[in-house]
Amino acid sequence: MREFDEASLTEAVIRRFGETPDPRLRQVMQALVGHLHAFVRDIEPSFEEWQTAIDFLTRTGQKCDDRRQEFILLSDTLGVSMLVDAINHRVAAGATPTTVLGPFYVENPPVLPLGTELAARAPGDRLHVSGRIAAAGGGPLPGAIVDVWQSDAEGFYDVQRPVGEAPELRARFEADAEGRFHFWTVVPSAYPVPTDGPVGEMLKATGRHPMRPAHIHFMISAPGHETLVTHVFADGDPYLDSDAVFGVKEALVRAFEQNPPGTAPDGRVMDTPWRSLTYDFALRPLAG
């Protein structure tokens, strides 16, 4: 056929992908065409509206660099990241719930000894974080790798600070022989996702707030187990029920306990009040 109309075009495009050698790619492309064409039929965009959509996606890509991933942010705020996460973690009995990676993870963070303070210069209440890594339904995982990253007390990640500043409030630790880890940091703050790009424009235009509840990110890996990507959220945060990226799960909410001056679990003497967070993580064994 050389001429296509509203009734025949979709099936023609789907057939055109019918010879795709990779069967999974064929499935993806044919489904994409079917759903995308159905979306266009549903909303019947004008040429001007479609050009606005193309411009939005173009500017989303232009906003991405080695310190910012606007497409991940778009996926997060549309709930797609959490849907993908849910689809890929349907069976997780006994394992710690997963949640979104977020746009601020940085590969190869600083490798630091257990007990290090991640924010010696940063203002805010001091927070002692500790926990244990184990297999779901099993024993400890000695030597598990624990990546952590978080916002500061003002709601900013280090990658949002001026280029050239040293990494802060992110690190990689190796759990001890009992699968335990601990470090010092500051209490994170609730913060807005970046609003200076296309995603921020979308949130404003649709009347949505950009806030995420206070949390610490964890990525934990051990041989023979699935890598866990999750957060631990601060209990009592006002945005727990309206997280801009839909990432909160009840099992991931914990109190950041208030403590008076005194001796912390690692023997450090604290002259001022401090906070503590304890969370034990369970990793799901690899299938097979």
pLDDT for 121 equals: 73
Helices (H), the chain: 9-16, 23-43, 47-62, 70-77, 80-88, 198-205
Q: What is the pTM of this model?
A: 0.89
pLDDT for 60 equals: 98
Structure tokens that stand for 174 in this block = 């190796």
- Binning pLDDT at 50, 70 and 90, where does residue 11 land? very high
CB atoms within 10 A of CB 269: 8
pLDDT for 243 equals: 97
Please state which of the ranges 29-33, 226-230, 284-288 shows the lowest mean pLDDT.
284-288
Q: Are 259 and 275 in contact (CB under 8 A)?
A: yes
Cα distance between residue 179 and residue 131, in whole Å? 8
Cα distance between residue 231 and residue 239, in whole Å? 14
Q: Are 134 and 140 in contact (CB under 8 A)?
A: yes
Rg of the chain taking only CA atoms, in angstroms: 23
Cα distance between residue 87 and residue 84, in whole Å? 5
Cβ-count burial of 26 within 10 angstroms (0-12 exposed, 13-18 middle, 19+ buried)?
Answer: middle
Structure confidence by residue, pLDDT tens digits, 200-221: 999 999 999 999 999 999 999 9
Structural domains in the chain? 9-73 (no CATH), 88-283 (2.60.130.10)
Cα distance between residue 145 and residue 237, in whole Å? 28
pLDDT for 161 equals: 74
Residue 140 carries which DSSP code? B
Structure tokens that stand for 45 in this block = 């965009």
Structure confidence by residue, pLDDT tens digits, 75-131: 999 999 999 999 988 766 789 999 998 878 988 999 999 999 997 777 889 999 999
Cα distance between residue 77 and residue 19, in whole Å? 35
The residue type of 71 is F
pLDDT for 138 equals: 87
Cα distance between residue 23 and residue 18, in whole Å? 9
Is residue 165 pLDDT above 70, yes or no? Answer: no
pLDDT for 119 equals: 78
Is residue 199 pLDDT above 80, yes or no? Answer: yes
